[in-house]
Amino acid sequence: MATDYYAVLGVQRDASQDEIKKAFRRLARELHPDVNPDPKTQDRFKEINTAYEVLSDPQKKQVYDLGGDPASAAGGGGAGGFGAGFGNFSDIMDAFFGTASQRGPRSRTRRGQDAMIRLDVELDEAAFGTTKDIQVDTATVCGSCSGEGAAPGTSAQTCDMCRGRGEVSQVTRSFLGQVMTSRPCPQCQGFGTVVPTPCPECAGDGRIRSRRTLTVKVPAGVDNGTRIQLAGEGEVGPGGGPAGDLYVEIHEASHPTFQRRGDDLHCTVTIPMTAAALGTKVPLETLDGKEEVDIRPGTQSGQSIPLHERGVTHLRGGGRGQLIVHVEVLTPTKMDTEQEELLRQLSQMRGEERPEGHFQPGQQGLFSRLKDAFNGR
């Protein structure tokens, strides 16, 4: 009775090539002579190797399924020797190490790398968005050879060493029998073709470096470190392959008046003691134009005055942040005799000639915190 190769590998007769390969790898790991030297196991290993040789070859599998002798199929060989099935040696190696040889020639065309460029913007440009032209120096397709790498009027030729396969094979003998190994062709570097006359413009790479101008739309609300992706505007790949992406990284310049914290803007206004006591209006040049900040009577040093919807536009979502004005009250340090007399009269009228003051716990200085730490407090 003929051997049932499907039963040998433990798969159904309608199993796919992927299922057949997985079953073979699983059994190969279990029954390989290096793992299990039992003679009976070795016979079983020969059997699964023979079954896989037949079922993994479409021509042999078709002959076998029709009831014929798979050894008579095109490309067939004996199916009974220990090393007979080791044309699939890479599958056994893959069973143990999880790797398989990459068959066929490599493509000369590959995707290019991503590129990044820094773009300086002002605060108002980051707040409201802008459009800027940038110059980019990247690899582009060679205009002389159109990315082919060969000089005009010539073309790549099939490698005569590997005959276009991109790899060369070598048969050696080992304890497993005859083993065929493959490696990239040293003459064509695995491409399967050679370029006898490289393009003089790009030296056969299919690309050259050139400078070009791009228009970048900067959305409102960007911040330091924000990256804008321009798909397909990066480096062109070898062989004229598809370009990578270009990332534009935003760098926001410092502003003479405002400090940005998130989408809020902060600034400090210094006013004299009398203005804080009586109240006043201070002109301020905001991102939206000149406005007056209302300093109410009795404003204390350190108070904050928020101006709503005067900050940076939210990058995601509508609305804007706040402009927060911090008030600093300036105490006079130099006064003439008349001014001192007026202040004394004011302090007498307010009963503030000898204020008691109100003390409360404050923040410790660095030296005090270190001293308490050493003292175990």
How far apart (Å, rounded) are the C-alpha atoms in residues 279 and 292?
13
3-state secondary structure of 296: coil
Judge whether 267 is annotated as a binding position: no
What SS3 state is found at 339?
A: helix
**Residue 290's CB: how many other CB atoms inside 10 A?**
8
- Please tell me the distance from the alpha carbon of residue 219 to that of residue 199, in angstroms, as a whole number: 42
C-alpha dist (Å) from residue 309 to 84, 123, 285, 289, 326: 80, 15, 15, 13, 17
Phi and psi at residue 201, in whole multiples of 5°?
-75, -40
199 labelled binding-site residue: yes
CB-based contacts of 231, cutoff 8 Å, min separation 6: 245
Sorted by sequence, the CB contacts under 8 Å of residue 171 that are 6+ apart come out as 178, 179, 180
CB atoms within 10 A of CB 52: 24
Q: For helices 58-65 and 39-55, what crossing angle results, to 10°?
A: 100
Q: How far apart are CA 311 and CA 261, in angstroms?
A: 10
* Total Cβ atoms within 10 A of residue 164: 16
- Contact 110/40 with Cβ under 8 angstroms? no
Among 193, 212, 204, 205, which residue's Cα sits nearest to residue 112?
205
Task: Write the CA distances from 242 to 57, 207, 349, integer angstroms.
Answer: 35, 11, 83
**How far is residue 257's CA from residue 36's CA, in Å, rounded to a whole number?**
79
Q: Compute the distance between CA of residue 130 and CA of residue 122 in angstroms, rounded to an integer.
A: 10
Binding residues for Zn(2+), by number, are 142, 145, 159, 162, 185, 188, 199, 202
Binding residues, by number, are 142, 145, 159, 162, 185, 188, 199, 202
